[in-house]
Chain A
Amino acid sequence: DGGITQSPKYLFRKEGQNVTLSCEQNLNHDAMYWYRQDPGQGLRLIYYSQIVNDFQKGDIAEGYSVSREKKESFPLTVTSAQKNPTAFYLCATRVGELGYTFGSGTRLTVV
């Protein structure tokens, strides 16, 4: 089945550590996105990529980094510079006007 796989589903990180969230898709979609979700704040765009080897900052990029070396993969690294990383992270893809497809998310908790 075509879809988006986010792993792991739950992730715990100690303060000061970097951690990488995985997002893999087999939909052959060009555009990929990372959103952060906090209670009562909806989804906020962190980074997005419309093509391999290219990506743009979203609204809350500080403390995050991404790469897009392959069409299928768009990993997100939460660095120690992100002051409040505990959140639910969602990866999405898009093709044309067909809308956006979302993964099942990764819940990151800083301990």
Chain B
Amino acid sequence: AQSVTQLDSQVPVFEEAPVELRCNYSSSVSVYLFWYVQYPNQGLQLLLKYLSGSTLVKGINGFEAEFNKSQTSFHLRKPSVHISDTAEYFCAVTQTSGSRLTFGEGTQLTVNP
């Protein structure tokens, strides 16, 4: 079985500041990792994913994440945030041989002017 822990439930930042949303996972086998974004009353949109290869993954809207196998982490970063980045962000994991996607509890990112 796998699990995901998002270390911050809320992250407030000012516009144009950098941000990091932290995600740790637990699994006894190889995994795929995902970050999703959710705007109010909407579904989830894929930001980026790690399947294999380079540990630095670039996604949409200027976000990137780094897979760190030794620390079992997959932190999401953006060097300069915008008001429009205000949303809830979910980290998720699935085993490479499996089908179930397990989510973290989410991090609410609020960008203030």
Contact = CB atoms under 8 A, between A and B. Distances in A.
Interface of A: 4, 6, 31, 33, 35, 40-45, 48, 50, 58, 88, 90, 92, 94, 97, 99-105, 107
A103 B41 CA distance: 11
B80 interface: no
Given A31-B99, A33-B101, 4 more contacts: A43-B103, A100-B44, A100-B101, A102-B43
8 contacts: A31-B99, A42-B90, A88-B41, A92-B44, A99-B46, A104-B43, A105-B41, A105-B42
A41 B105 contact: yes
Contacts of B101: 33, 45, 92, 94, 100
Interface in B11-56: 32, 34, 36, 41-46, 49, 51
Contacts of B104: 42
Contacts of B42: 104-105
A90 B103 CA distance: 13
Interface residues of B, number: 22
Interface of B: 6, 9, 32, 34, 36, 41-46, 49, 51, 90, 99-106
A10 B24 CA distance: 34
A42 B43 contact: no
Given A43-B90, A97-B51, A105-B41, A48 B99 contact: yes
B41 A45 contact: no
